[in-house]
RNA sequence: GGGCCUGUAGCUCAGUCAGGUAGAGCGUCGGACUUUUAAUCCGAUGGUCGCGGGUUCGAACCCCGUCAGGCCCGCCA
């Protein structure tokens, strides 16, 4: 069973109606690590729907969280907003300074700035959650009753947090952080409480009162989370391994939510995504790949496959180089399989069966539109990379594929894929290994690798290519023919051609590439190679 | 200090919950396709299941210990 189906099954034991929730703080650039959170939730919801459950998928944007510090991408002016809520301060402009104009005219906030592009990415990747803005929810009084309960039973909550996380809370700790006279959550002392008011004294020596029912402040993180479970009615939530550890926020949350009068959701802890060779992704370290950037290179269904095929507790190493090609080709292979007929085989061992079921499940989760079946495009990533590099127009690419019988008319997903491929090729991420390049000088090392028998082919090839019509078809037949004329197999022709022209043992189809080059340069290169072999 | 996760073929991982002959994909190697050589198809190769004990007729799986990597007990997906 696929991991999402396992989670769905666990949910089905608890009832028929479910809310799967995810949440992210928009404190900086979103990266593909955040995508795992939301895709994990989306996949559980998908599996639950397939299991016949009534399920809603929500995404909570934690705009009520305060700005923790002046990040590297922010200008010094943001110093004044430390402790202020992300949904109530201006966004950084291009230079990292507060964009007051948009803030005042459009209400464009720090949270919006980072959230909006992420939402676009979600749309592209087929995730359409109900979005809940946390700050607005506070202001609308959604947290009111649960906050009242938390304040009324502050001692119980304090006891739970201290016992479970084995940390000591300050004497003046209170389960509500009021906003101070400047709008900050930092350094505010609670001096009294009578619902709905929490009285405070801030770091500027100002006294005031915070109205819980109007959201003039927020619950501290460890209570904020269970309170959300309560008022939204969350029954399942995936979260990063940081929250999942013993003593972590889920452990305290599951008890606190009971104090608040609700049940804890079914948990699912997932591992982080790291960038290959660079460790965990972190916005401050700058080693991130944003969801938008990733989607410019990778078809969304392939990004989905990456998450779908990895069990949540497995760390994922994301890599925009060769692994992407492997992953994309894996998608194509999987799409071409007929899992139902494979599973019909009675002789399968339990292991083989599980493996086929998991692959089928992963593909169900990977397709963009829920309930559809992936269709193989009949063009591998590798092949598309080749065509995109050798054909200057899209139409030439389609013609080549049509000629090969791979497609009749390109469908939309193939068109998208070609656009992404061109973006990938143009980006710094495109791997050297995939780049097609014809040598400008003989590569002696590669030539020496050639068998003695194959060496004469180089000279023969130089002659026949010098004489032939310079089109892909003619070149294509000249290469094997040159070998045959010498009593060798076509393979010898290719070996010689690759060694001489690309300095490799094998490579992509040569003829269409050569046809794009100048005939005299190719012939001259072959002649030089022939000379150096003598 | 306390706790969680991970460790299985060259690589990525299934299999551990319900103990029963070590599995897949990729890679590699070989063959076929006698002009689509990053393609496709066929075949082969490949593992003291981190290590040491214990329970058992039988352990990758359960128990105890141990090593290594990652993480949590302020904030982080």
Q: Is residue A133 assigned to a domain?
A: yes
Report the distance from CA of residue A309 to the C1' of nucleotide B61 in Å, as an integer.
Answer: 23
Closest CA to A253 of A222, A285, A211: A222
Name the closest residue (CA) to the C1' of nucleotide B13. A310
Region A390-415: mean pLDDT is: 79
Report the distance from CA of residue A514 to the C1' of nucleotide B27 in Å, as an integer.
Answer: 29
Q: DSSP secondary-structure letter at A318? A: E
Name the closest residue (CA) to the C1' of nucleotide B22. A351
Copy the structure tokens of residue A51: 């299991």
Asked whether residue A130 falls in the same domain as residue A242, the answer is yes
Rg of chain A (C-alpha set): 30
pLDDT confidence of A376, banded at 50, 70, 90? confident
Nucleotide nearest to A325 (CA to C1'): B38
**What is the rounded distance in angstroms from the CA atom of residue A312 to the CA atom of residue A44?**
11
Coil/strand/helix, residue A292: helix
A122 has a pLDDT exceeding 60:
yes
**What is the rounded distance in angstroms from the CA atom of residue A174 to the CA atom of residue A530?**
84
Nucleotide nearest to A494 (CA to C1'): B37
A229 has a pLDDT exceeding 90:
yes
Is A106 within 8 Å of A127 (Cβ atoms)? no
pLDDT in tens, A491-516: 788 888 888 888 877 777 788 788 87
Report the distance from CA of residue A336 to the C1' of nucleotide B43 in Å, as an integer.
Answer: 22
pLDDT in tens, A128-142: 999 999 999 999 999
Give residue A177's region: left, alpha or beta (phi > 0; psi -120 to 50): beta
A224 has a pLDDT exceeding 80:
yes
Domain housing A459: 444-533
Q: Is residue A358 assigned to a domain?
A: no
> So what's the pLDDT on residue A110?
95
pLDDT confidence of A214, banded at 50, 70, 90? very high
Asked whether residue A204 falls in the same domain as residue A236, the answer is no
Closest CA to A73 of A98, A99, A95: A95
pTM to 2 decimal places: 0.88
Nucleotide nearest to A510 (CA to C1'): B37
Report the distance from CA of residue A311 to the C1' of nucleotide B6 in Å, as an integer.
Answer: 12
> So what's the pLDDT on residue A469?
84
Nucleotide nearest to A312 (CA to C1'): B5
Asked whether residue A190 falls in the same domain as residue A255, the answer is no
Q: DSSP secondary-structure letter at A428? A: T
Is A227 within 8 Å of A150 (Cβ atoms)? yes
Paired residues of A66 in beta bridges: A85
pLDDT in tens, A449-481: 777 778 888 888 888 888 888 887 888 888 888
**What is the rounded distance in angstroms from the CA atom of residue A323 to the CA atom of residue A251?**
36
Report the distance from CA of residue A16 to the C1' of nucleotide B59 in Å, as an integer.
Answer: 39
Q: Which nucleotides of B are covered by protein (CB under 7 A)?
A: 1-6, 12-15, 23-26, 33-40, 70-77
Region A416-435: mean pLDDT is: 83
Q: Is residue A234 assigned to a domain?
A: yes
- DSSP string for residues in A86-143: GGGSBPB-TTSSB-HHHHHHH--BHHHHHHHHHHHHHHHTT--PEEEEHHHHHHTTTT
Report the distance from CA of residue A325 to the C1' of nucleotide B76 in Å, as an integer.
Answer: 31
- DSSP string for residues in A193-229: EETTEEEEE-TTS-EEEEEGGGTSEE--HHHHHHHHI
Asked whether residue A127 falls in the same domain as residue A244, the answer is yes
Asked whether residue A424 falls in the same domain as residue A500, the answer is no
pLDDT confidence of A115, banded at 50, 70, 90? very high
Name the closest residue (CA) to the C1' of nucleotide B37. A506
Region A56-65: mean pLDDT is: 94
Q: DSSP secondary-structure letter at A53? A: -
Q: Is residue A101 assigned to a domain?
A: yes
Report the distance from CA of residue A4 to the C1' of nucleotide B49 in Å, as an integer.
Answer: 26
- A435 Cβ neighbours under 8 A, 6+ residues apart: A389
Report the distance from CA of residue A316 to the C1' of nucleotide B75 in Å, as an integer.
Answer: 23
Region A91-103: mean pLDDT is: 94
**What is the rounded distance in angstroms from the CA atom of residue A178 to the CA atom of residue A483?**
83
Q: Is residue A164 assigned to a domain?
A: no
Nucleotide nearest to A66 (CA to C1'): B75
Asked whether residue A225 falls in the same domain as residue A117, the answer is yes
**What ipTM goes with this model?**
0.84
Copy the structure tokens of residue A52: 């016949």
Report the distance from CA of residue A315 to the C1' of nucleotide B71 in Å, as an integer.
Answer: 11
pLDDT in tens, A14-34: 899 999 999 999 988 888 888
Nucleotide nearest to A480 (CA to C1'): B35
Name the closest residue (CA) to the C1' of nucleotide B5. A313
A206 has a pLDDT exceeding 70:
yes
Report the distance from CA of residue A400 to the C1' of nucleotide B27 in Å, as an integer.
Answer: 29
Of the listed ranges A45-54, A62-71, A217-226, A379-388, the least confidently predicted one is A379-388
Report the distance from CA of residue A356 to the C1' of nucleotide B21 in Å, as an integer.
Answer: 21
Copy the structure tokens of residue A305: 């496959």
Q: Is residue A299 assigned to a domain?
A: no
Q: Is residue A18 assigned to a domain?
A: yes
pLDDT confidence of A277, banded at 50, 70, 90? low
A285 has a pLDDT exceeding 60:
no
Copy the structure tokens of residue A202: 């801030």
Which of A232, A249, A270 is at the close of a domain? A270
Nucleotide nearest to A281 (CA to C1'): B77
A520 has a pLDDT exceeding 90:
no
Give residue A190's region: left, alpha or beta (phi > 0; psi -120 to 50): beta
> So what's the pLDDT on residue A371?
87
pLDDT in tens, A146-186: 999 999 999 999 988 888 887 788 888 899 999 999 999 99
Region A110-117: mean pLDDT is: 94
- DSSP string for residues in A222-289: HHHHHHHIIIII--EEEEEHHHHSTTSHHHHHHHHHHHTT-PPPEEEEEPPEEETTTEE--TTTT---
pLDDT confidence of A67, banded at 50, 70, 90? very high
**CATH number, position A456:** 1.10.10.350
Nucleotide nearest to A282 (CA to C1'): B76
Report the distance from CA of residue A333 to the C1' of nucleotide B7 in Å, as an integer.
Answer: 29
Coil/strand/helix, residue A487: coil
Name the closest residue (CA) to the C1' of nucleotide B71. A242
Asked whether residue A195 falls in the same domain as residue A242, the answer is no
Nucleotide nearest to A283 (CA to C1'): B76
Strand pairing category for A197-201 and A189-194: antiparallel
Nucleotide nearest to A336 (CA to C1'): B40
Report the distance from CA of residue A22 to the C1' of nucleotide B64 in Å, as an integer.
Answer: 39
- A283 versus A81: the higher-pLDDT residue is A81
Asked whether residue A426 falls in the same domain as residue A524, the answer is no
Q: Is residue A336 assigned to a domain?
A: no
Name the closest residue (CA) to the C1' of nucleotide B4. A245
Report the distance from CA of residue A17 to the C1' of nucleotide B18 in Å, as an integer.
Answer: 28
Asked whether residue A474 falls in the same domain as residue A529, the answer is yes
Region A2-7: mean pLDDT is: 90
CA distances from A342 to A143, A339, A345 (A): 51, 5, 6
Name the closest residue (CA) to the C1' of nucleotide B23. A351
Structural domains of chain A, count = 4
Asked whether residue A229 falls in the same domain as residue A212, the answer is no
**CATH number, position A101:** 3.40.50.620
Nucleotide nearest to A492 (CA to C1'): B37
pLDDT confidence of A76, banded at 50, 70, 90? very high
Asked whether residue A29 falls in the same domain as residue A84, the answer is yes
């Amino acid at each position: 069973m696929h991991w999402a189906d396992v989670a769905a099954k666990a949910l089905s034991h608890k009832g028929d109606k479910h809310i799967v929730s995810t949440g992210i703080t928009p404190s900086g650039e979103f990266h593909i690590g955040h995508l795992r959170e939301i895709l994990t939730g989306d996949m559980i919801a998908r599996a639950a729907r397939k299991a016949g459950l009534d399920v809603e998928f929500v995404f909570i944007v934690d705009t009520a969280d305060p700005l923790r510090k002046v990040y590297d991408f922010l200008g010094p002016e943001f110093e004044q907003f430390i402790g202020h809520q992300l949904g109530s301060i201006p966004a950084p402009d291009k230079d990292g300074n507060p964009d007051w104009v948009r803030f005042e005219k459009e209400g464009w906030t720090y949270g919006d700035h980072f959230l909006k592009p992420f939402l676009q990415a979600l749309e592209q990747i087929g995730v359409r959650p109900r979005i809940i803005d946390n700050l607005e929810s506070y202001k609308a009084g959604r947290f009111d009753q649960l906050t009242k309960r938390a304040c009324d039973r502050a001692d119980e909550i304090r006891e739970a947090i201290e016992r479970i996380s084995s940390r000591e809370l300050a004497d003046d700790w209170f389960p509500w952080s009021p906003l101070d006279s400047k709008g900050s959550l930092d350094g505010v002392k609670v001096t009294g409480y009578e619902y709905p008011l929490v009285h405070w004294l801030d770091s500027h020596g100002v006294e005031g009162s915070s109205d819980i029912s109007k959201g003039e402040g927020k619950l501290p993180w460890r209570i904020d989370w269970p309170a959300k479970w309560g008022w939204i009615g969350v029954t399942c939530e995936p979260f990063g391994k940081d929250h999942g550890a013993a003593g972590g926020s889920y452990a305290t949350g599951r008890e606190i939510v009971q104090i608040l009068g609700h049940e804890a959701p079914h948990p699912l802890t997932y591992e982080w995504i790291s960038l290959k060779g660079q460790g965990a992704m972190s916005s401050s370290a700058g080693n991130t790949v944003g969801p938008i950037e990733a989607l410019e290179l990778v078809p969304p269904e392939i990004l989905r496959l990456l998450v779908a095929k990895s069990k949540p507790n497995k760390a994922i190493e994301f890599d925009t180089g060769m692994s992407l090609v492997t992953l994309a080709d894996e998608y194509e292979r999987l799409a071409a399989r007929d899992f139902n007929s494979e599973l019909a085989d009675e002789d399968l061992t339990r292991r083989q069966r599980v493996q086929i079921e998991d692959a089928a499940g992963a593909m169900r989760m990977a397709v963009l539109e829920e309930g559809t079946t992936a269709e193989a495009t009949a063009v591998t990533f590798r092949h598309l990379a080749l065509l995109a590099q050798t054909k200057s127009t899209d139409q030439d690419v389609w013609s080549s594929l049509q000629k090969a019988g791979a497609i009749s008319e390109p469908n939309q997903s193939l068109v998208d894929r070609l656009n992404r491929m061109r973006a990938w090729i143009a980006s710094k991420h495109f791997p050297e290994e995939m780049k097609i390049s014809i040598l400008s000088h003989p590569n002696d090392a590669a030539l020496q690798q050639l068998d003695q028998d194959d060496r004469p082919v180089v000279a023969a090839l130089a002659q026949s290519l010098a004489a032939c019509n310079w089109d892909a078809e003619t070149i294509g037949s000249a290469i094997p023919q040159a070998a045959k004329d010498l009593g060798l197999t076509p393979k010898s022709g290719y070996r010689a051609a690759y060694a001489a022209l690309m300095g490799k043992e094998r490579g992509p189809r040569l003829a269409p590439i050569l046809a794009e080059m100048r005939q005299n340069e190719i012939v001259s290169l072959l002649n030089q190679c022939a000379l150096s072999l003598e």
